[in-house]
Structure 1
Amino acid sequence: MHSKRGLPVALNYYRVDEELWKNPDKLLQLSSLALRSAQREKTQIKIRSLRLKELPNLSLNIEVMLREVGINDPQTLQLLGAKRSWLKLRSTRKNGRY
């Protein structure tokens, strides 16, 4: 634990003792595993946190409209494709919702 402004902060660091410093092959292996794990975690967090409005050319208004027709995330939008997504939006407009 690390203290920042008087509050404890958890850090994702590993302590390297003298024995590990003396074994560079093991140190490199563990460092490589830690790096790959951190990169996977970062990618997963980025995927989960990506909102529709963060995609190019999509505003908050379009995100709201897409959510109303059941398109809640970028993966669903990509799966449906632009044409089917647009047709879903268009059909709700014809029904008087927009």
Structure 2
Amino acid sequence: MDTAAVAKNERIDRHEVARFIRRLATAAGLPGWKQISPHACRHPWNTIARRKGADLEDRQRAMGHADPRTTQRYDRDKDSLDRDASFLVAAATSGS
């Protein structure tokens, strides 16, 4: 990640975010690191937010969805979330 931009509290572009996500996946030892994208992180984010008590309207607003049904489609059940690559990256890098 462009640490100079972060230190200056500047925006980084979407490509830099994608590279950062892939570096985390590689460090976590995930074999499918090439398929992990920032967009893939939206599924576990939505599921974890729901589990922690965020209501549908708040999650919908945070994700920028016009229709709550779209937000609901991003919710994953426990079994599929445990296999989700971005969830595995988060777990591996957080020490959980």
User: What TM-score comes out, normalization by structure 1 length?
Assistant: 0.26
User: What TM-score comes out, normalization by structure 2 length?
Assistant: 0.27
Instruction: Flag the structure with larger Rg.
Output: 1
Q: Whose relative contact order is higher, 1 or 2, with alpha carbons under 8 Å and at least 6 apart?
A: 2
Higher strand share: 1
